[in-house]
Structure 1
Amino acid sequence: MELPLLILLTTQVLLPIFFLLWLWLPHPADRVGWLMRVVYGACYFAFIAVIGRWDFLSTVLAVVLPVTFAVSAALAYRRVRHRTWNRSPSLMRSHGFTAAMAVFFLALTARALSGYGYQDTAVDLTFPFASGEYYVGQGGSTTSINSHHADQSQRYALDIVALNGFGARAAGVMPDDLTDYVIYGREVKSPCTGVAISMHDGIDDNRIFETNTQEPAGNHIILACGTARVLLAHLRKGSIAIKGGELVTAGETLGRVGNSGNSSEPHLHMHAYLGGTLDYNAGEGVPMTFSGRFLVRGSTVTIP
């Protein structure tokens, strides 16, 4: 089993099941025992709600699991409501570890939530897809929810996938066929009215789990959107529909999503930067908003 899949199943399936079962078994000796299990579980569910990649399984689970936990906690309380609050002579000895772990996950959640805002001046763009439901796999202003944030030019980069009717990005958790990914082949629209100052084509799509680190952006386009430059990367070979130096309008088709470059599965990578011009790694990354909305990991965008 691939390590990312193992981590995903552990953090977003096995541990949530553990916290649900732990509300009941073993039976809490008193109401403080019940309360500590609820607090610990609630902090963990808050953590995975913020940092989880729910598009791998289903975005529906991001809502269903916390609701299920809340209902289970209420039902579990009915079994201890007539018990004394505390039977232990030492709260610290009995519940100190549980409390410490709850604080730990609460701190991780707060750190991730700090990435929901930004300090720099943002460039407002048009969302680069037409009708459909889309999910942000990487995005935000902290590494907790955006793996690109440590890179100066990609600090506010986005990785975007599309969702099917079940709220998943693919037909399966990690299928081998590129066409099983909803975003694959989807038309990429220009996020602004500007000039296509650079592009590259001719790179084959990678197979799932393989990457091309020699040409990280793969087939890509760089647009001059006012003072900002916007990179649209990992496009499908032969799909780019414009030429270098051409004026494009917002919403115009530029190409199609592929899996070229440093990409392990189909998605659109985009980031905006100042300076650097044609070198998308040399500029200063700036936030992107879409109709004023700053997108982060877990954000969904529905285009009618």
Structure 2
Amino acid sequence: MAWPILILLITQVLLPAFFLSWLWLPRPVDRLGWFTRAAYGAAYFSFIAVIGRWDFLGAALAFLLPAAYVVAAALSYLRVRDRPWNASSSLLRTHGFTAAMAVFFLALTARALSGYGYQETAVELAFPFAAGTYYIGQGGGTASINHHHGNQSQRFALDIVALNTFGMRANGLLPEDLADYVIYDQEVESPCNGIAISTHDGIDDNRISETNTEEPAGNHVILACGTARILLAHFRKGSIAVAAGAIVTKGQALGRVGNSGNSSEPHLHMHAYLGGTRDYNEGQGVPMTFDGRFLVRGSTVTVP
């Protein structure tokens, strides 16, 4: 099993199961013990709801698991409501670690949530896909929800996948067949009116969990949309539908999603930058909005 899948199962399945069971066993000797446990669990559920990749297990779980925790916490309180508020002679020794961990995860959650906004002027674009439901795997203004954020030109980059009827990005956790990924081979549309200032094709798709770091963007298109440059990357080999220098219109087909370049599974990478012209690693990354909406990790977009 790949390490990312193992980490995901631990953080989004095993640890939530632990916090749910910890509400019940062993039963706290006082209400303060219940309260610190409940607060620790609530802080963790808040954290994982924000930073988790729920497209692996089902996007609805990002809301259903916290809701289940709230219900379980309320029911578990009934078992301790008649107990004393505090039965310990030392609050710090008995409850200090649990309370500190609750504060720790709340701080991590607050840090992640700080990436839900931006101060720069955003580039307004059209969403680059037609009908379907899409999920933002990477996106936002902090590294905790967007692993691109440390790169100056990619500070507000997006990684976009598509969801099936179960809210999952693929048929399975990590299938080997590229066609099992919902986004694979979907048509990518131009997000603006502009000029295709650079295109590149001819790079093979990677096998799942393998990457091509020598040509990070893989098959790609760079658009000039006003003063901004927009990179759309990881297209399928042979699918680029526009030539360098061509005028493009919003909604025009640019190519089809693949798994070329520095991509371990099919998705569309997209980022906007000022300056840098044809070098997508140069320039200053700027936020993108779609119908005025700033997308972050966990955002879903439904196109009718």
Common topology (TM > 0.5): yes
Aligned to 1:103: 103
| Alignment partners' CA distance in 2, 1:7 and 1:100 | 23
| Alignment partners' CA distance in 2, 1:82 and 1:282 | 63
1:275 aligns with 2:272: no
Aligned to 1:266: 266
SS where residue 66 of structure 1 aligns? helix
Cα deviation for residue 91 of structure 1 reads 1.1
Q: What is the one-letter code of the residue matched to 2:204?
A: D
Aligned to 1:128: 128
Aligned to 2:298: 298
Normalising by structure 2, we get a TM-score of 0.99
Q: Percent identity?
A: 75
| Alignment partners' CA distance in 1, 2:112 and 2:62 | 16
| Alignment partners' CA distance in 2, 1:238 and 1:283 | 28
| Alignment partners' CA distance in 2, 1:173 and 1:24 | 30
1:92 aligns with 2:92: yes
Runs of 4+ aligned residues of structure 1 deviating over 3 Å after TM superposition are none
Cα deviation for residue 163 of structure 1 reads 0.3
RMSD: 0.5
Cα deviation for residue 90 of structure 1 reads 1.1
Q: What is the one-letter code of the residue matched to 2:290?
A: F
* Superposition pairs of residues 216-227 of structure 1, within 5 angstroms: 216-227=216-227
SS where residue 114 of structure 1 aligns? helix
SS where residue 205 of structure 2 aligns? coil
| Alignment partners' CA distance in 1, 2:176 and 2:270 | 24
Aligned to 1:3: 3
Cα deviation for residue 258 of structure 1 reads 0.1
Q: What is the one-letter code of the residue matched to 2:98?
A: T
What do the CA deviations read for 1:145-203 (whole angstroms, capped 9, x no partner)? 00000000000000000000000000001111100000000000000000000000000
Aligned to 2:244: 244
Cα deviation for residue 117 of structure 1 reads 0.6
Aligned to 2:210: 210
Aligned to 2:27: 27
Aligned to 1:195: 195
| Alignment partners' CA distance in 2, 1:50 and 1:280 | 29
Aligned to 2:284: 284
Aligned to 1:167: 167
Aligned to 2:77: 77
Q: What is the one-letter code of the residue matched to 1:228?
A: A
Cα deviation for residue 120 of structure 1 reads 0.9
Cα deviation for residue 3 of structure 1 reads 1.1
Cα deviation for residue 119 of structure 1 reads 1.2
| Alignment partners' CA distance in 2, 1:63 and 1:273 | 33
Q: What is the one-letter code of the residue matched to 1:41?
A: G
What do the CA deviations read for 1:123-145 (whole angstroms, capped 9, x no partner)? 00000000000000000011010
Long gaps (5+) in structure 1:
none
Cα deviation for residue 268 of structure 1 reads 0.1
Aligned to 2:156: 156
What do the CA deviations read for 1:15-38 (whole angstroms, capped 9, x no partner)? 000000000001111111111111
The number of residues matched between the two structures is 304
Cα deviation for residue 253 of structure 1 reads 0.9
